[in-house]
Amino acid sequence: MSHFCSCKDHSCPFNPHNESGEGGCDGCIQKCLREGEIPACFFNAVSAQQENLKTFTFEEFARFVIDHCRESK
Protein backbone atom coordinates (compact mmCIF):
# COMPACT_ATOMS: atom_id res chain seq x y z
CA MET A 1 0.00 0.00 0.00
CA SER A 2 1.39 3.42 -0.91
CA HIS A 3 1.69 6.16 1.70
CA PHE A 4 2.37 9.86 1.38
CA CYS A 5 5.13 9.74 4.02
CA SER A 6 8.32 11.33 2.67
CA CYS A 7 10.57 10.20 5.54
CA LYS A 8 13.72 8.60 4.14
CA ASP A 9 14.64 6.79 7.36
CA HIS A 10 13.38 3.33 6.50
CA SER A 11 15.10 1.89 9.57
CA CYS A 12 12.65 3.77 11.80
CA PRO A 13 9.98 1.35 13.06
CA PHE A 14 7.30 4.03 12.60
CA ASN A 15 8.04 4.65 8.93
CA PRO A 16 4.92 3.43 7.09
CA HIS A 17 7.13 2.18 4.24
CA ASN A 18 8.78 -0.18 6.73
CA GLU A 19 7.62 -3.77 6.68
CA SER A 20 7.73 -4.12 10.49
CA GLY A 21 4.01 -3.46 10.86
CA GLU A 22 4.51 -0.75 13.51
CA GLY A 23 4.49 2.02 10.93
CA GLY A 24 2.30 5.02 10.91
CA CYS A 25 1.84 8.61 11.87
CA ASP A 26 0.40 7.86 15.32
CA GLY A 27 3.61 6.28 16.57
CA CYS A 28 5.83 8.75 14.75
CA ILE A 29 4.06 11.80 16.16
CA GLN A 30 3.86 10.35 19.66
CA LYS A 31 7.63 9.75 19.60
CA CYS A 32 8.29 13.24 18.19
CA LEU A 33 6.11 14.94 20.81
CA ARG A 34 7.79 12.96 23.59
CA GLU A 35 11.24 14.02 22.33
CA GLY A 36 10.35 17.62 21.37
CA GLU A 37 10.80 16.97 17.67
CA ILE A 38 8.96 17.69 14.41
CA PRO A 39 8.30 14.74 12.03
CA ALA A 40 10.58 14.44 9.00
CA CYS A 41 7.71 15.00 6.55
CA PHE A 42 7.42 18.62 7.75
CA PHE A 43 11.14 19.25 7.15
CA ASN A 44 10.85 17.62 3.72
CA ALA A 45 7.91 19.90 2.87
CA VAL A 46 10.10 22.97 3.54
CA SER A 47 13.26 21.95 1.68
CA ALA A 48 15.33 18.98 0.56
CA GLN A 49 18.52 20.84 1.56
CA GLN A 50 19.00 19.23 4.96
CA GLU A 51 22.77 18.66 4.99
CA ASN A 52 23.28 21.11 7.87
CA LEU A 53 20.51 19.76 10.09
CA LYS A 54 21.81 18.43 13.39
CA THR A 55 18.49 17.72 15.14
CA PHE A 56 14.76 17.65 14.43
CA THR A 57 13.74 19.78 17.43
CA PHE A 58 11.00 22.44 17.38
CA GLU A 59 13.73 25.10 17.56
CA GLU A 60 15.70 23.62 14.65
CA PHE A 61 12.50 23.46 12.59
CA ALA A 62 11.77 27.14 13.28
CA ARG A 63 15.30 28.07 12.18
CA PHE A 64 15.05 25.78 9.14
CA VAL A 65 11.82 27.45 7.97
CA ILE A 66 13.24 30.95 8.45
CA ASP A 67 16.51 30.09 6.68
CA HIS A 68 14.77 28.56 3.67
CA CYS A 69 12.22 31.36 3.41
CA ARG A 70 15.14 33.81 3.16
CA GLU A 71 16.81 31.69 0.46
CA SER A 72 13.70 31.80 -1.72
CA LYS A 73 13.34 35.62 -1.59
Interface with ligand SF4 (CB under 6 A): 5, 7, 14, 16, 25, 28-29, 39-41
Q: Which is nearer to ligand SF4, 30 or 49 (CB)?
A: 30
* CB within 8 Å of 11: residues ≥ 6 apart: 18
Q: How far is the CB of 73 from ligand SF4 (least distance, A)?
A: 27
- DSSP of the chain, one letter per residue? ---------TTSTT-TTSTTS--SHHHHHHHHHHHTB--HHHHHHH-S--TT----BHHHHHHHHHHHHHHT-
Whose Cβ is closer to ligand SF4: residue 4's or residue 70's? 4
For ligand SF4, the closer CB: 5 or 70: 5
Least distance to ligand SF4 from the beta carbon of 24, Å? 6
